[in-house]
Homo-oligomer: A and B are copies of this chain.
Amino acid sequence: MKIVTADSACSILNKDLMPTNILSTVAIVVDFPYETPIKVHARAGDYSIKDPTVLVHELRLCEELLGIEPAECVHFDLTLGGINILDITDEFLFQLNLSPRGRSVLHAILPDLREIALAIDEKYHAPVLAMGKRSLPVRLAELYASAYGIARGIKIASVSEAEEPIYLGLPEKVLAFFDEKDKVKVTSEEPMEKSLVAEVPISNGVLVEPFLNPMTRGFQVLRLTKRDA
Mark A residues whose CB is within 8 Å of B: 1, 3, 30, 32-35, 75, 82, 131, 133-137, 139, 173, 175, 189-193, 195, 209, 211-220, 223
Contact = CB atoms under 8 A, between A and B. Distances in A.
Nearest to A131: B215
A212 B173 contact: no
A215 B134 contact: yes
Contacts of A133: 217
Contacts of A211: 32-35
B215 A192 contact: no
B173 A214 contact: no
A211 B1 CA distance: 13
A225 to B, nearest CB: 12
A192 B214 contact: no
A134 B195 CA distance: 27
Nearest to A173: B191
Contact of A136 (B175, B190, B192, B217): B217
